[in-house]
Amino acid sequence: MRFRYALAGFFLLVSMVPGVAAIASPPGPRAAAAVQTLTWTADDDITRYLSFPTQAVAGETTIVFENSEATGNDMFMSHTLTFDTSAEGYNHDVNLNILANPLDANNGRHTATVTLTPGKYRYFCSLPGHSGMVGELIVTNGGPDVTAPTVGAQVSGTRDTNGNYVGSATVTVTASDAQSGVSTVEYRLDGGAWTPYTAPVVVSALGAHTVGYRATDNAGNVSPEGTSTFTVVAPPSDTTPPTVNANVTGTRDANGNYVGSATVTVTASDSGSGVASVQYQLDGGAWTAYTAPVVVSSLGAHMFHYRATDNAGNVSPEGMASFTVVAPPSDTTPPTVNATVSGNRDGSGNYVGSATVTVTASDSGSGVSTVEYSLDNGAFVAYTAPVVVSTVGAHTLRYRATDNAGNTSPVGSVSFTVVAQDTTAPTVSASVAGERDGSGNYVGSATVTVTASDSGAGVSTVEYSLDNAAFARYTVPVVVTGPGAHTLRYRATDNAGNTSPVGSVSFTVVAQDTTAPTVTATVSGNRDAGGNYVASATVTVTASDSGSGVASVQYSLDNGAFVTYTAPVVVTALGAHTVRYRATDNAGNTSATGSVSFTVVAPPVEDTTAPETAATVTGNRDANGAYLDRATVTVTATDNGSGVKTVEYAVDGGGWTLYTAAVIVTARGAHTVRYRATDNAGNVAAEKSVTFTVVEPSGDACPNSDDRPTVVIDGFDTGVANVDTGNGCTINDLIAERASYPDHAAFVRHVEAVTGTLVTNGVLTRREQGAIVRAAARSSIGT
């Protein structure tokens, strides 16, 4: 399955990506070498660069960008190396934009010469769907560095109305140094020991906290200590993400396309902690906060993604809607508009309590743009929902509509009368919540929630009385903290003045936990005749609390600082040791410090056995067993004694080389790879070898092609023919449903990019692309 003409079209597509200028050196004599060379590489992953520099010295520089088969790009994915010239906080004096593909004229390796100045540059891949490929390059002037780094911290997380962080707080520390660069960043929690900072620090222990932070540059300058303080409180009981949906509305033509514009309305609900935020993404753009229905008027096909987050931090699965907007036809006819009145009516036809006026409009031409109404000769206002009129008396509602071509309908009107009638009191109830002990008492506090409803005039006020005090207005749940028995009475009044009978709930509040946890420790390991632990000892700490529960466990080794206990402590240092331990419960009670002592001695037996070694050869093979284009040799070594120290290999009689990763052999012909290993006791394994032959491939980029007759994604058959795309690879090969993706959205974006290329290249139609993308969206790949 090979179509050479399609392959030529593929190269044309890559060179015409909008906004991408391939600034790379053509074949021929090279310019004089620059002061330094910086190299970026990429493979077939669209979420990051494979390798990249982080620091450089100001001056003339050779930039190398390689995105080739040699760097692991066997899917022939295009990438760019683009320097940002607009974002604030970065240098903008280098205009670099290199496009590389393994199949281009330079086989994916390109160079450019630039002049860097001190400061910071931002670089990224400018191709759609590749937004995860981004980074920073720090450039120094190369002189002596006597200035300490700049360091700061930001605390993030879900916050309650008092500013406390619910469940946990995340502290993100940032540091920069414009000269020698940052060497290390450290932090400490609540005055504890300094710890290397490698990722944002999540603090989930309840209570007030202080995080200290500092940074050291490569010249040894240490910044002053900075601090951030905050309080963590218990989260609500909510682990279920919100439910989120999107509805596309607008005037549609016979083909289902939206005429002039389409309006996307996103709705989200959460029965637990409530919806915190809703976001949307249009046509692969940035995620944006959703605050109102999104009107899309640009002509063409569109993809709309959406998601929601609740106040407990749960994020919904990502949803997606697709639609097409087309230009409206010529229209000179105004819309048709009508109104109906609904509600409960008495024997005279009057509406009891309220009347609801619903206005409907339609336009078969350009579509309805706006609907307006005027109540009782007031100003015309936009109609967005049925109008509820509850004021007693006679009323007239006028209405009109305008289409997208500017034609406005004649004004219509409806008249009706509203009368008052409500003699039924509201329905009111109360519930009590909080932590309860074995006797059903509430520990520390009880929260009483009162709810009221009225199907007539509607609820006006809700009141409560605690322990026979005067009735007060109820606005939020009542928190009762005083120990003892309590009774809360409640009542509600509707807008017609009807008051419900008084209800009541009774409960008892008891004091919080004042007893510290129980904590013990045990020591395990191999012991000699003298009771000493051979080579290592493992200390396991256990804690329990029948009251509020254990919040944290800490330990100290040989009088060092107390640190958080998360797993059994393995001690391998020879000599006598003492481990102290303690525990704190969620009420803040800390146990007395306990301790265990023991001695670790060296193992008596010396290792005299060499490591065990093995090697395997992998790759695509022809009918004669020869490897096509390349062979990969993987060496493994094990040692049950002192452990493997080094593994070495030699190719075709060459010198011994330290083995750190699988060896890839691409030279054509017969080969022999020898290998050996040495353990930490100095024992060397006997030399072994593997032999194999590498031959020239047939030229098919996908020798083991997925040749199913139609395009199938995760079991969803699209019905689209699975044709050869021009280089021996079918559409299913390029979709690569068995490849690794960071999440489902990344896989869908990959499929959009691949099929977009095939549409431009004439392999697919837009309709066929839509069928494939929809199948990708329905699949579970990447989840």
pLDDT reading at 740 higher than 50: yes
pLDDT at 727: 67
Report the DSSP beta bridge partners of residue 447.
433, 479
Predicted pLDDT at 620: 66
Rounded to whole angstroms, how far apart are CA atoms 693 and 702? 20
Residue 727 CA to residue 103 CA, distance in Å, equals: 10
- The answer for 575, left when phi > 0, alpha when psi is -120 to 50, beta otherwise, is left
Question: What is the structure's pLDDT at 309?
Answer: 93
Single-letter residue type at 634: T
Write down the pLDDT at residue 26: 43
Of residues 595, 556, 586, 562, the one with CA closest to residue 191: 562
Q: What number is the average pLDDT over the span 761-780?
A: 92
**Quick check: 129 and 46 in contact, CB under 8 A?**
yes
* Angstrom distance (rounded) from CA 515 to CA 507: 24
Looking up tokens 């391939």 gives 22
* Token pair of 191 as six digits: 């005055």
Q: What pLDDT does residue 566 have? A: 95
Note the pLDDT of residue 500.
Answer: 94
Chain segment 589-641, per-residue pLDDT in tens: 899 999 999 999 988 777 789 999 999 887 766 556 687 778 889 999 998 87
Does the structure show a pLDDT above 60 at 14? Answer: no
Q: Name the percent of the chain lying above pLDDT 70.
A: 92
The amino acid at 107: N
CA distance 171 to 201: 5
Which is nearest to 281 in space by CA: 503, 129, 445?
Answer: 129
Compute φ and ψ for 622, nearest 5 degrees. Answer: -90, -175
* pLDDT digits 0-9 by tens, 187-211: 999 999 999 999 999 998 989 999 9
Answer yes or no: is pLDDT of 25 > 50: no
The pLDDT value given to residue 86: 87
CA 572 to chain CA centroid, nearest Å: 39
What is the chain's percent helix, strand, coil content, to nearest 5?
5, 45, 45
Q: What is the pTM of this model?
A: 0.25
Q: Which two tokens stand for residue 296?
A: 């899309």
pLDDT of residue 412: 96
What amino acid occupies position 449?
T
pLDDT at residue 23 in the model: 40
Q: Which two tokens stand for residue 136?
A: 């920073």
Amino acid at 734: L
The DSSP letter of residue 685 is P
Side-chain half-sphere of 123: how many Cα atoms within 13 Å? 28
Single-letter residue type at 627: Y
Residue 634: partners with Cβ closer than 8 Å, 6 or more residues away: 615, 616, 617, 618, 662, 663
pLDDT the model gives residue 17: 34
Give the confidence band of 366 by pLDDT, cuts at 50, 70, 90: confident
User: Does the pLDDT value for residue 31 go beyond 50?
Assistant: no
What is the rounded end-to-end Cα distance, in angstroms, of the chain?
32
Token pair, residue 712, equals 């199938």
Alpha helices in 35-93 (DSSP H): none
b/e per residue, 598-636, with b = 16+ CB within 10 A? bebeeeeeebeebbebebebebebeeeebbbebbebebe
How is residue 716 written in tokens? 């969803």
Q: Which domains does the chain have, with CATH numbers?
A: 4-140 (2.60.40.420), 150-233 (2.60.40.10), 243-326 (2.60.40.10), 336-419 (2.60.40.10), 427-510 (2.60.40.10), 518-601 (2.60.40.10), 612-695 (2.60.40.10), 710-778 (no CATH)
CA distance 347 to 73: 80
With 70 as the cut, is the pLDDT of residue 12 above it?
A: no
Report pLDDT digits (tens) over 96-130.
999 999 999 999 999 999 999 888 899 999 998 88
Q: Is 164 exposed, middle or buried (0-12, 13-18, 19+ CB in 10 A)?
A: middle
Asked if residue 81 lies in contact with residue 50, where contact means CB atoms within 8 angstroms, the answer is no
- Give residues with Cβ within 8 angstroms of 185, minimum separation 6: 151, 173, 175, 196, 197, 213, 214, 215, 216
Give the span between the Cα atoms of 521 and 507, in whole angstroms: 40
Cβ neighbours of residue 471 under 8 Å, at least 6 residues apart? 463, 464, 465, 489, 491
What pLDDT score does 7 carry?
Answer: 31
The two tokens of residue 501 are 């009978």
Q: Which residues contact 542 (CB under 8 A, 6 or more apart)?
A: 519, 520, 521, 522
518-563 confidence digits (pLDDT tens): 999 999 998 988 899 989 999 999 999 887 778 899 999 999 999 9
Residue 345's pLDDT is 78
> Which residue, among 11, 63, 15, 73, has the nearest Cα to 42 in the 3D structure?
73
Average pLDDT of 255-273? Answer: 90
CA 414, 419, 425: angle at the middle one, nearest 5?
135
Q: What is the mean pLDDT of residues 470-486?
A: 94
Q: What is the pLDDT of residue 10?
A: 33
pLDDT score of 465:
96
Give CA separation, 283 vs 511, 671, 691, 772, in Å. 57, 51, 52, 16
pLDDT digits (tens, 9 = 90+) for 159-177: 887 889 988 899 999 998 8
Q: CA of 534: how far to CAs of 241, 577, 579, 679, 706, in Å?
A: 50, 13, 17, 20, 56
pLDDT band, residue 699 (cuts 50/70/90): low
Instruction: Tell me what pLDDT residue 701 has.
Output: 64
Q: What is the pLDDT of residues 44-66, one digit of tens each?
A: 899 999 999 998 888 899 999 99
Q: In Å, how far are 74, 331, 415, 712 from 733, measured between CA atoms?
A: 11, 48, 67, 11
User: From CA 7, how far away is CA 101, in angstroms rounded?
Assistant: 13
DSSP string, 423-481: --PPEEEEEEES-B-TTSPEES-EEEEEEEE-SSS-EEEEEEEETTPPPEE--SPEEE-
**The pLDDT of residue 16:** 32
Cβ(747)–Cβ(318) below 8 Å: no
Task: State residue 76 phi and psi, 5-degree precision.
Answer: 60, 40
Could you give the percent of the chain with pLDDT greater than 90? 60
In sequence order, the β-bridge partners of residue 92 are none
* CA dist list (Å): 590 to 67, 521, 582: 57, 16, 7
Question: What mean pLDDT comes out for the span 763-777?
Answer: 93
Q: Amino acid identity of 413?
A: S
Residue 379, exposed/middle/buried by CB under 10 A (0-12, 13-18, 19+)?
A: exposed
Q: Is 54 helix (H, G, I), strand (E, B) or coil?
A: coil
Per DSSP, the residues of 532-555 read PEES-EEEEEEEE-SSS-EEEEEE
**Pick from 518, 520, 519, 515: nearest CA to 589:** 515
Q: What is the average pLDDT across 305-316?
A: 91
The residue assigned the tokens 């800390």 is 590
Partners of 419 in the β-ladder: 352
Give the pLDDT band of residue 218 (cuts 50, 70, 90). confident
Helices 766-778 and 744-760: crossing angle in degrees, nearest 10, is 170
Closest CA to 464 of 445, 449, 481: 449
Tokens linked to 148: 């300490």
Mean of pLDDT over the chain: 87
Spatial contact of 215 and 181, defined as CB atoms under 8 Å apart: no
pLDDT at 20: 37
- β-bridge partners, 326: 259
Q: Binning pLDDT at 50, 70 and 90, where does residue 660 land?
A: very high
Backbone angles phi, psi at 778, to 5 degrees: -75, -15
More confident residue, 725 or 357: 357
Q: What pLDDT was estimated at residue 180? A: 75
The answer to whether the beta carbons of residues 314 and 308 sit under 8 Å apart is no
Closest to 674 measured CA to CA, from 703, 654, 699: 654
CA atoms of 723 and 3, how far apart (whole Å)? 10
Residues near 152 by beta carbon (within 8 Å), at least 6 away in sequence: 173, 174, 175, 226
